[in-house]
């Protein structure tokens, strides 16, 4: 191969590779390389040419096909890895994901009924199992994406079906208490954990089949609870309280509209 072999690789300036090359061979870089794969293939091929292949290159039987075989054996596979991630929630902000309707009972099988005079929820035994009673509460439960994902609990907002009332927890004096507040649904689309709107957030933690507890996002040790006696207000109590019921059966109502 008197004229030498040329390997065209992209480069801004022309350079000649001659160090330790077998006599009669030359590699000329005439263009700048487009990819790292081509650069790697070139380097590997040169090392092969300078190494154990030198003697065969000088053989009169060495042809272009032989050099092509060397280059193919040295081929470097190039893989493009694309990392796909979903955008995390804004730091410190809870973003509403979806809303579904749920029935709710306390651990004594009592329904929650809204007392329209006092703006309270009461736990009562519905006579004859009349679940069509207009006063029985169905929850519009909105779930939220939280800044720090957790498998232990799910942040939720608890609305009353057919109204614009939502449960909230704020201090009345020095004790957290449960309230019903009128609130525009759009104002609860996203909630900053450090804002006053965080009073509408509760953490739903599953404790059994369809059984969960609901504790305040603002006051983590305080739980929504019912009294031992019937027809008493639903309120907040501390986790260690043994005289109130903190477990609720919460079941999704299928095929409903909010």
Express each pLDDT in 7-34 by its tens digit. Answer: 444 444 344 444 555 666 666 655 555 5
Q: Concatenated DSSP letters for 176-231? A: EEEEEEE--GGGGSEEETTSGGGGGEEEEEEEETTEEEEEESSSTTEEEEB-SSTT
| Lowest-confidence region among 16-20, 140-144, 161-165 | 16-20
Structure confidence at residue 12 (pLDDT): 41
- pLDDT at residue 180 tops 90: yes
Q: What is the pLDDT of residue 81?
A: 52
Which backbone phi and psi does 92 adopt, to 5 degrees? 80, 10
Mean pLDDT for the chain overall: 79
Residue 151 predicted with pLDDT over 90: no
Instruction: Look at residue 70 in the predicted model and tell me its pLDDT.
Output: 60
Question: Of the spans 84-93, 111-120, 126-135, which averages the highest pLDDT?
Answer: 111-120
DSSP-derived letter for residue 129 is G
Residues 6 or more apart whose Cβ sits within 8 Å of residue 171:
177, 219
Is the pLDDT at 67 greater than 80? The verdict is: no
pLDDT of residue 92: 85
- Residue 86: what pLDDT? 47
- The helix/strand/coil state of 254 is coil
* pLDDT over 50 at 3, yes or no: no
How far CA 239 is from CA of 104, 181, 213, in Å, comes to 20, 24, 10
Cα 68 to Cα 45: distance, rounded to the nearest angstrom: 10
pLDDT of residue 44: 74
Question: How confident is the model over 97-106, as a mean pLDDT?
Answer: 96
pLDDT at 20: 55
Tell me the CATH class for 94-252: mainly beta
Mean pLDDT over 234-248 rounds to 97
Give the confidence band of 220 by pLDDT, cuts at 50, 70, 90. very high
In angstroms, the CA 224 to CA 221 distance is: 10
Average pLDDT rounded to a whole number, residues 145-158: 88
Task: Tell me phi and psi for residue 56, to 5 degrees.
Answer: -70, -25
Extents of the domains making up the chain: 10-73, 94-252
pLDDT exceeds cutoff 90 at 94? yes
CA angle 227, 233, 239 (to 5 degrees): 50
Give the confidence band of 175 by pLDDT, cuts at 50, 70, 90. very high
Q: Where are the alpha helices (DSSP H) in the chain?
A: 36-50, 54-58, 64-73
């Amino acid at each position: 191969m008197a004229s030498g072999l040329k390997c065209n690789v992209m480069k801004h300036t022309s350079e000649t590779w001659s160090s330790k090359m077998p006599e009669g061979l030359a590699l000329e870089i005439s263009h700048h390389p487009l990819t790292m794969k081509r650069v790697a293939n070139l380097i590997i091929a040169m090392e092969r040419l300078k190494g154990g292949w030198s003697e065969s290159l000088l053989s009169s039987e060495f042809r272009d096909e032989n050099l092509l075989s060397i280059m193919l054996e040295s081929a470097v596979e190039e893989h493009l890895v694309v990392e796909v991630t979903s955008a995390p929630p804004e730091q410190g902000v809870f973003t509403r994901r979806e809303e579904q309707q749920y029935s709710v009972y306390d651990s004594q099988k009592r329904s929650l009924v809204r007392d329209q005079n006092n703006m309270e929820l009461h736990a009562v035994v519905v006579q004859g199992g009349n679940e069509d009673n207009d006063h029985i509460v169905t929850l519009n439960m909105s779930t939220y994406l939280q800044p720090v994902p957790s498998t232990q609990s799910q942040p939720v907002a608890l609305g009353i079906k057919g109204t614009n009332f939502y449960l909230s927890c704020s201090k009345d004096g020095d004790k957290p208490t449960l309230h019903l507040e009128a609130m525009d649904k759009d104002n609860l689309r996203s909630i900053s954990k450090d804002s006053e709107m965080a009073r509408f957030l509760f953490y739903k933690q599953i404790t059994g089949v369809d059984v969960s507890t609901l504790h305040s996002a603002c006051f983590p040790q305080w739980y929504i609870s019912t009294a031992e006696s019937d027809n008493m207000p639903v309120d907040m109590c501390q986790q260690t309280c043994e005289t109130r019921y903190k477990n609720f059966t919460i079941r999704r109502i299928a095929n409903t509209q909010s």
